[in-house]
Amino acid sequence: MIKRLLESKIRERLFKGKAIILTGPRQTGKTTLLKQIFDGMRDVLWLNGDDIETRILLEEVSTSKWSRIIKSAKVVVVDEAQRIRDIGIKLKLVTDQFPAVQLVASGSSTLELANQINEPLTGRKWHYQLFPLSYEEMEAHHGFVEENRRLSDRLVYGSYPEVVSHPDEARDILSQLADSFLYKDILMWERIKKPEKLMKLLQALAFQLGNEVSYHELGQITDLDNQTIENYITLLEQTFILFRLPPLSRNLRKELKTKRKIYFYDNGIRNALIAQYQPPELRQDMGALWENWFISERKKWLHYHSIYANTYFWRTQDQQEIDYVEERDGFMWAYEIKWGTKAKAHFSKTFRDAYPQHHTQVVHRDNFFEFLAH
């Protein structure tokens, strides 16, 4: 089994007086990770929010009822916690009234879980996100040579644990994962009235990968108004399907201020939505795929190593641009992301003058690992 980077972080936080909240996409291994952490530990109580009996048990819960439920347990794990109504208030009772008990809650969607726990558990929690397998985790498991040999597969099929462990079934697994995302985490919500239009929106975003997104153009493709598109994209972010990258705009009048780029957390899900599994040498979208893969991997790396950065792309109205920018500790770290190892990269003098405290890097196939493995 591939060791997850969050395992050591979570272990370090155990029994320090705060709840541990673990969120992330479905099928990324949250339950497996928690079982690995608590394997062999006595007095662990598991409660599953997908189980209707558990939901009924916790429908009305007081301190005295929690005392009966917990009994002598030293650890209480609430899996799929977002399925339990008012879960934040119920978890707060445990952290307040049973300080010796380590509380852990996991969920596949921030749509409810984060919204329900942020206020009740303010100052009482550590919150982590588990992503599909990261390059760093897979290199540590497979070795540098083998993982780099598999780079083409990662770009096309992504890095969900089941996809990585069963590469011969990758297409079927991705198809099921895409359906699970859409129908279990999003379409169950009453405000999603037209699932076929949501699918059109996802496919349009998949085809526009790496480009600035225009809600007006998306509206023409999907027959949705701008506000509905904004709402749907927010839902897709909250369910870990995609994320937005805003433009960097501080000093220059010509810098773009309103448009966004949208990336997918996993290349495989993106390719499954448009049923494109060609190998890299046959693709017309390798630049966009490579950019999506690197930026999503970098996002994992920053989170797992607790590196706090604001992330952007940079472009001016006269088409000067930089693919990806991180703002950390007062410095701008600018990256040009190139699939070809011989491709030239030019960092705009306009950018360098506007942001004098900067570092510049070209990322390509021969050096990407320097930015993704600690």
Average pLDDT over residues 325-335: 94
pLDDT of residue 253: 58
Residues contacting 302, CB < 8 A, separation 6+: 308, 309, 311, 326
**Residue predicted with more confidence, 165 or 253:** 165
| Domain spanning 135-371, CATH class | mainly alpha
Phi-psi group of 106: left, alpha or beta (phi > 0 → left; psi -120 to 50 → alpha; rest → beta): beta
The encoded tokens of residue 300 equal 């994992």
CA dihedral defined by 135, 235, 87, 46, rounded to 10 degrees? -40
The half-sphere exposure of 72 on its side-chain side, counting CA atoms within 13 A, is 2
Structure letter (DSSP) for residue 28? S
Give the ranges where the chain is alpha helix by DSSP (H): 6-13, 30-38, 52-57, 63-70, 87-97, 113-117, 135-142, 144-149, 151-157, 161-165, 170-180, 195-207, 215-222, 226-238, 267-273, 286-304, 349-354
Q: What is the crossing angle of helices 87-97 and 63-70, to 10°?
A: 70
pLDDT bin (cut points 50, 70, 90) of residue 342 is: confident
pLDDT tens track for 191-247: 666 678 888 999 999 999 988 888 888 999 998 888 888 888 988 888 889 999 999
**What is the homologous superfamily of the domain 6-129 according to CATH?**
P-loop containing nucleotide triphosphate hydrolases (3.40.50.300)
pLDDT bin (cut points 50, 70, 90) of residue 93 is: very high
Arithmetic mean of pLDDT over the chain = 90
pTM for the whole thing?
0.92
CATH 1.10.10.10 in the chain: give the residue spans. 135-371
pLDDT of residue 252: 59
For the cut 90, the answer to whether the pLDDT of residue 320 exceeds it is no
User: Which among 111, 86, 263 is positioned nearest to 191, based on CA atoms?
Assistant: 111
SS3 247: strand
Residues contacting 42, CB < 8 A, separation 6+: 74
pLDDT bin (cut points 50, 70, 90) of residue 311 is: very high
Nearest 5°: the CA angle 109, 110, 114 is: 140
For the cut 90, the answer to whether the pLDDT of residue 155 exceeds it is yes
User: Which among 77, 70, 82, 91 is positioned nearest to 34, based on CA atoms?
Assistant: 77
Nearest 5°: the CA angle 229, 235, 239 is: 145
pLDDT bin (cut points 50, 70, 90) of residue 148 is: very high
SS3 230: helix
Average pLDDT over residues 356-360: 92
For the cut 70, the answer to whether the pLDDT of residue 112 exceeds it is no
pLDDT of residue 265: 96
The encoded tokens of residue 297 equal 């991997």
**Residue predicted with more confidence, 90 or 120:** 90
DSSP string, 287-310: HHHHHHHHHHHHHHHHHHTT---E
Distance between CA atoms of residues 22 and 116, nearest Å: 14
CATH 3.40.50.300 in the chain: give the residue spans. 6-129
pLDDT tens track for 13-62: 999 999 999 999 889 999 999 999 999 888 999 999 999 999 999 999 99
For the cut 70, the answer to whether the pLDDT of residue 190 exceeds it is no
Residue type, 219: G
C-alpha distances out from residue 205 to 126, 150, 232, 362, Å: 33, 26, 12, 26
Instruction: Look at strands 44-48 and 75-79 and give their pairing.
Output: parallel
pLDDT of residue 105: 94
